[in-house]
Amino acid sequence: MKFTLIIKKNKTFKYILRNAKYKTSKTIAVHSCPTRNNENVIFFAVCVSKKNGNSVERNKLKRWVREAYKLEESKLKKGYNILVIYKKTTNVANTNFNSIHEDIIKCFKELGLYEN
């Protein structure tokens, strides 16, 4: 991920959840807000609950979101925090990469994260 840093601090997660706009689809919710200090990068994170399956399935879901994000990264505006949260009803058996990629694109468009 060329322009992206991973969100690791709990206070950053709380800030995003408190202040961000969000859009949902049938499998994910995407929260997005402008960064407070760095305008040249995108901060990104993926959250998957233990209710989404065992560790193998959760890691597969995270890999799918990261890959979909990587395909769209060059088209996005810089200077944003992006948090992707899976809904608890989502699991590997009832979804696939293509549906996740379509949901990511749809949510990013609705949030206005693409450059013109």
Percentage of the chain beyond pLDDT 70 is 100
| pTM of this structure | 0.92
Rounded-to-integer distance, Cα 14 and Cα 21, Å: 13
| Predicted local confidence at residue 36, as pLDDT | 84
Pairing state of beta strands 21-24 and 42-47?
unpaired
Q: What are phi and psi of 28, to 5 degrees?
A: -135, 165
pLDDT tens-digit series, residues 58-104: 999 999 999 999 999 999 999 999 999 999 999 999 999 999 999 99
- Is residue 116 over pLDDT 90? no
Which CATH architecture group holds 4-111? 2-Layer Sandwich (3.30)
| Predicted local confidence at residue 4, as pLDDT | 94
Q: Sheet harboring 42-47: ordered strands across?
A: 4-6, 42-47, 80-86, 28-34, 21-24
